[in-house]
Amino acid sequence: MGHRSPDQRAAVGRAARKIAPRSAHADWSPAADRRDPVALLEEQNATRVPWLVPIRHGRMAASPFTFYRGAARLMATDLAPTRTSGITVQLGGDAHLSNFGAYASPERRLVFDANDFDETLPGPWEWDLKRLATSVWIAAAHRGFDQKEQQAVTGRTVQAYRQGMHRFAGLRTLDLWYEDVDVDRLSGHELWSDEATRRRLARFDRKARSRDSLQALRRLTVEVDGRFRIRSDPPVLLPLAEIPERDPDRLWELALGVFDRYRGSLPDHRRVVLDRFSPVDVGVKVVGVGSVGTHCFVMLLEGRDRDDPLFLQIKEATASVLEEHLGPSTYDHAGRRVVEGQRLIQAASDIFLGWTASDEGRTYHVRQLRDWKGSVDVGSASPEVLHRYASLCGWTLARGHARTGDPIAIAAYLGTSCRMDRAVTAFAETYAAQNARDHAAFLAAVADGRLESDPDH
């Protein structure tokens, strides 16, 4: 790519329209031999912690949107036969609305970016865009928007992606690499500059900055004999002593081994910082929707004293659902696949991002559990908020793709008309209807006892 001129790269994008016309992205229908969606989800449970699987089912059953969050494998299977431009980027792999948010950069700025990379893998950029657009349609339907409003907010998301890609195509290489979304600067943008929105951004900023390790210390621990320990809040938070069928002392030894191997994945200057902290306790913490049932631990460490905490999330990494269709990752270690993908896509990443493995051969990726954290509750967002938030996610997705693919070729493929906007919006409407049918089938499987569900956690 670096040896081609901008004109040559743009020609690649325009030529790709003959392979996959933009209007063709509107077309989708379930394959005649489409597999039972419940069976596909059940297969994923084979390697999950059995006593946590009902929680996953309960969270997916709550609404079509929460079901969609846990059904990345279904959509990857449905997208696999579709036509694409052939232009590859580093996919987030699960680019729905709830997988974007704000967090602290190493420079202590509150930045907005994609924040979940469990499924990351190189692949066609259209897959991420369609997954994001469909999540917008489903979220808008959940909020009671009519069809016209659903079309408008979804189309605006794709438009933001397209316009963002054109902007990034015009940037010099390093300018693109350093481009990010600073929440403090959002209020200066025309879409975010009215007084009411600026007040909302200020509240968002304050809340995000309060979600730090000290807040986690208050919420996740209890004081025992003068030391902080992971509290018990079963089944979503368990100290070692309460983990079923496991010896706590042995688990602690295993955790220290996992931590030591994680240290080796960090650059020297980051390891120097980590080594100022000492592990104190470990527990199981249930997170998300799609990840529920994978092994996920939280480790409490202390720095200068007990009021200087650090929480690390040690989250199991398995093969990406995209690998079934795009081939295996170049990384043998699934945790490293996640970390390297995250570093490629995000403009700024956690200084403690790393990977590790257990004695049992399970692979993990590691990051801070809470270093400022801000997100939009799409389940309660007003039409105005959802419009702006979805547009921001579309722009952010484009920036991640531009960093890892060829923005000039993608921009040329997209063009300046709204043809791609309309096509992907039509796809989103069609696929949202399929998601609703799959959710109904899932609920039926719960009702007839095929799937066990815990709706309370």
pLDDT, tens digit, for every residue of 104-113? 899 988 999 9
Please count the structural domains in the chain. 2
Q: Which is nearest to 76 in space by CA: 291, 288, 325?
A: 325
Assigned domain for 381 exists: no
Rounded Cα–Cα distance for residues 261 and 272 (Å): 15
Alpha helices per DSSP H over 70-187: 72-79, 125-142, 147-169, 173-177, 183-186
Question: Looking at 368, 387, 410, which one is the last position of a domain?
Answer: 368
Do 35 and 184 lie in one domain? The reply is: yes
Tokens 């469990």 belong to 118
pLDDT, one tens digit per residue, over 376-424 is 888 888 888 899 999 999 999 999 999 999 999 999 999 999 999 999 9
pLDDT higher than 90, residue 193: no
Residue 226 region by backbone torsions, left for phi larger than 0, else alpha for psi between -120 and 50, else beta: left
90 vs 73: CA distance, rounded Å = 17
Q: Count Cα atoms within 13 angstroms, Cβ side, for 376.
A: 25
What amino acid occupies position 316? Answer: E
- pLDDT of residue 226 exceeding 70, the answer is yes
Residues 222 and 199 grouped into a single domain? no
Q: List, for residues 77-98, the tens digit of each pLDDT value.
A: 999 999 999 999 999 999 999 9
- 261: three-class secondary structure by DSSP: helix
Residue identified by tokens 């997100």 is 375
For residue 13, is it within any domain? yes
Answer yes or no: is pLDDT of 244 > 60: yes
Over residues 285-333, the pLDDT tens digits come to 998 898 898 999 999 999 999 999 999 999 999 999 999 999 999 999 9
Question: Would the pTM count as exceeding 0.85?
Answer: yes
| Same domain membership, residue 154 and residue 292 | no
| Residue 374 included in any domain | no
* Pair 190, 67 in one domain: yes
Longest dimension (CA), the chain: 70
Does a structural domain hold residue 33?
yes
Which SS3 state, helix, strand or coil, does residue 375 take?
coil
Higher pLDDT: 371 or 34? It is 34
Find where tokens 């991002």 sit.
Answer: 353
Cα 174 to its chain centre, rounded Å, is 25
Closest CA to 347 of 167, 182, 207, 127: 182
Query: Among 334, 335, 339, which residue's Cα sits nearest to residue 350?
Result: 339
Q: How far is CA 326 from CA 40, 90, 122, 124, in A?
A: 17, 12, 8, 9
pLDDT in tens, 32-55: 999 999 999 999 999 899 999 999
Are residues 193 and 285 located together in one domain of the fold? Answer: no
Residue 456 domain flag: no
**Same domain flag for 173 and 282:** no
Q: What is the pLDDT of residues 152-181, one digit of tens each?
A: 999 999 999 999 999 999 999 999 999 998
b/e map 231-246, b = 16+ CB within 10 Å: bebebebbbbebbeee
- Residue written as tokens 């921001």? 392
Q: Are 100 and 393 in contact (CB under 8 A)?
A: yes
Residues making up the chain, counted from first to last: 457
Q: How far apart are CA 331 and CA 122, in angstroms?
A: 12
Is the pLDDT at 197 greater than 80, yes or no? no
Are 294 and 239 in the same domain?
A: yes
Residues 99, 171 within the same domain: yes
Would you state the pLDDT for residue 39?
97
153 phi/psi in degrees, rounded to 5? -70, -35
The Cα–Cα gap between 456 and 161 comes to 37
Q: Which of residues 368, 390, 419 is at a domain's end?
A: 368
Query: For residue 428, is it within any domain?
Result: yes
Q: How far is CA 246 from CA 243, 251, 345, 346, in A?
A: 6, 7, 37, 37
Q: How far apart are the first and last CA of the chain?
A: 48
Cβ–Cβ < 8 Å for 343, 73: no
SS3 250: helix
260 in the same domain as 189:
no
Domain boundaries, position 184: 6-208+398-447
Residue 259 sits in the same domain as residue 362:
yes
Residue 1: per-residue pLDDT = 47
Look at residue 383 and tell me if it is in a domain.
no
Q: What is the distance between the alpha carbons of residues 299 and 263, in angstroms, rounded to a whole number?
A: 14
Q: Is 382 a member of any domain?
A: no
Q: Write the single-letter amino acid at 329.
A: S
Provide the pLDDT for residue 44. Answer: 94
Kindly state whether residues 196 and 328 are assigned to the same domain: no
Q: Cα–Cα distance between 317 and 363 in angstroms, integer? A: 5
> How many other β-carbons are positioned within 10 Å of the β-carbon of residue 177?
12
- In this prediction, residues 222-235 reach a mean pLDDT of 93
* Per-residue pLDDT, 288: 85
**179 and 263 share one domain:** no
Q: Which two tokens stand for residue 15?
A: 């030529």
